[in-house]
Chain A
Amino acid sequence: KNEVEQSPQNLTAQEGEFITINCSYSVGISALHWLQQHPGGGIVSLFMLSSGKKKHGRLIATINIQEKHSSLHITASHPRDSAVYICAVRRGGSQGNLIFGKGTKLSVKP
């Protein structure tokens, strides 16, 4: 079993829909990252969480440390949100190694 599991693997939505991507992990962590990877391969860091909730524009990320679960929400989705969204965790006490989920491929149709 992977230490970081994401669901769904693939998601197709209509423009305007509310989207949720889930991430569960099985190790103790010091931080969780949500990353966005566009078709060209470039990766952008969206959020870094260690507790609670963060919001940036139409994106909201939450984390429940006790349940070892995080969600990424996109409100009023748009075709330009189409990308692969990757959850990555840093083990507690570790400075280096990030453990990545396999990603969720999101396609938003106009």
Chain B
Amino acid sequence: GAGVSQSPSNKVTEKGKDVELRCDPISGHTALYWYRQRLGQGLEFLIYFQGNSAPDKSGLPSDRFSAERTGESVSTLTIQRTQQEDSAVYLCASSLQGAGNTIYFGEGSWLTVV
């Protein structure tokens, strides 16, 4: 597609439920990133994919969080047993391989845990 696409755009879930957030990166972008932004806070890095592997997952806050990527394309971020502190906007971004490339962000998935 023309840009990074994320779904759902909004999700309200009950505490304890699992959620899956999807990211479709720009075609041909081998690098894919997940970030989180809680209300009133700055952006936090979660995980980085190069192709289908994740050489840097240091930002995942707990073992309830996991992510995968398939076909060097779509990525899914899964949050198990959601907690209220998981409420945030989850942003996906993609770029061509290499540190010197522009990063393109999706519109984000707004997650509210009630």
Contact = CB atoms under 8 A, between A and B. Distances in A.
Contact of A45 (B45, B105, B108): B105
A101 B97 CA distance: 23
A50 B102 CA distance: 12
Interface of B: 31, 33, 35, 37, 42-45, 48, 50, 55-56, 58-59, 89, 91, 93, 97-105, 107-108, 110
16 contacts: A41-B89, A41-B110, A43-B108, A45-B103, A86-B43, A94-B99, A95-B97, A96-B31, A96-B55, A97-B45, A98-B33, A99-B45, A100-B43, A101-B42, A102-B42, A103-B42
A43 B100 contact: no
A98 B37 CA distance: 14
A87 B35 CA distance: 15
Contacts of B37: 41
B42 A30 contact: no
Contacts of A31: 99-100
A42 B48 contact: no
Interface centre among B42, B89, B102 (most CB of A within 10 A): B42
Contacts of B44: 100
Interface residues of A, number: 25
A25 to B, nearest CB: 14
B90 to A, nearest CB: 11
A94 B48 CA distance: 11
Interface centre among B48, B59, B99, B104 (most CB of A within 10 A): B99
Contact of A48 (B31, B43, B100): B100
A90 B97 CA distance: 13
Contacts of A41: 37, 89, 107-108, 110
A106 interface: no
Contacts of B33: 96, 98
B43 A88 contact: yes
Contacts of B108: 41-43
B101 A48 contact: yes
A76 interface: no
Given A95-B31, A98-B33, A30 B100 contact: yes
